Structure 1
Amino acid sequence: MSIDAPSVPALSGTTTAADQPAVLPYGVLVPSQVHFDDLDALNMLHNARYPLLVERAWSAYWEALGWSYEGDWNAAEDACNAVKELRISYERPVVRSGEYAVHLWLDRLGTTGLTYGFRYCSADGAMTYARGTRVLVRLDPGTLRPAPWSERFRAEALPLLRPAG
């Protein structure tokens, strides 16, 4: 898998008001794979799989930039964080396995927390199946209390910020 971070991919295809514009002005598009065992009894992507696929896309994105998720809280640095809130809206069912994508961006980058946005979409980004936001809080590994993001993380996260307006 290749992720050109933080480049902005050019997208093509017909869109509706519920979809993103034909050219993605912010964020990154990360490839995602739906397997047959991700589908439910009605042959639709199970609702609980969407957050998992989004998490895998974020992990792939940050790992491509050299961040590690080894399970060692002290070594995890900015990966030592917790989910405060998750919101997701399902717009169209995914009804087959295959290649898809996750459009990722940041809506807010605070001192100790951030809000990221996502869309689960077609591989070219033209069709949206689900969209949502997730709030993360950076934690101090010793106290598990909120801690500031590192300068390295902030520098690598800033290009993902969605423009205001």
Structure 2
Amino acid sequence: MTAEAPIAPALSHGRLVPVTVHFDDLDALGLLHNARYPLLVERAWTELWQRHGFAFEGDWEAAGDACNAVRELHVSHEAPVTRTGAYAVHLWLERLGTTGLTYGFRFCSADGATTYARGHRVLVRLDARTLRPAPWSERFRAVGRELLRPGG
């Protein structure tokens, strides 16, 4: 992922965020290692949210909406990634609740045309002091609504 790479609309919903697969992301068979998919998706989400001003900079109380935890992660592999180079992650929100959200993703070719893996992840926004669920801010919800899949 490069800092200069644009985050562009992808298809009819969500965003397509460029990522890079490096040689050390491949397993002994020359395939993208299964543990790298969630890592690359996480990096894409981090870049997208940082561009909207949401980031963790060392202080959980100051992190606000960036203080969240994964409740569920599902990845389904559809085709092997066999080469290093430029790819993308198509990101969108399936559901935006008061304290949680579900996002969908596709690990795909750089142009978004070929899908290698897809899945979803459920996040819960946490209060930094109590680690109990806390509501998303209105600013976060406004950005999230832009990412909602139609019908989501």
Letter in 2 for 1:109: L
Letter in 2 for 1:137: V
Letter in 2 for 1:86: L
Letter in 1 for 2:140: F
Ranges of 4+ aligned residues in structure 1 off by more than 4 Å? none
Partner Cα distance (2:15, 2:84) in 1: 22
Structure 2 partner of 1:140? 127
TM-score, length-scaled by structure 1:
0.87
Partner residue of 2:20 out of 16, 19, 33: 33
Shift of 1:130: 0.3
**8 A contact 1:3–1:61 mirrored in 2:** no
SS in 2 for 1:74: helix
What is the count of residue pairs matched by the alignment?
149
Q: 1:3 and 2:20 equivalent?
A: no
Structure 1 gap segments, 5+ residues each: 10-23
Partner residue of 2:88 out of 98, 101, 112: 101
Structure 2 gap segments, 5+ residues each: none
Q: Percent of counterpart pairs with the same letter?
A: 70
CA RMSD in angstroms comes to 1.2
Partner Cα distance (1:74, 1:153) in 2: 16
Deviations 1:38-84 (A, max 9, x none): 00000000000000000000001011112222131101100000000
Letter in 2 for 1:8: P
Partner Cα distance (1:71, 1:88) in 2: 29
Partner Cα distance (2:52, 2:96) in 1: 18
Q: Answer 1 or 2: which has greater helix percent.
A: 2
Structure 2 partner of 1:127? 114
Partner Cα distance (1:111, 1:124) in 2: 33
Shift of 1:136: 0.1
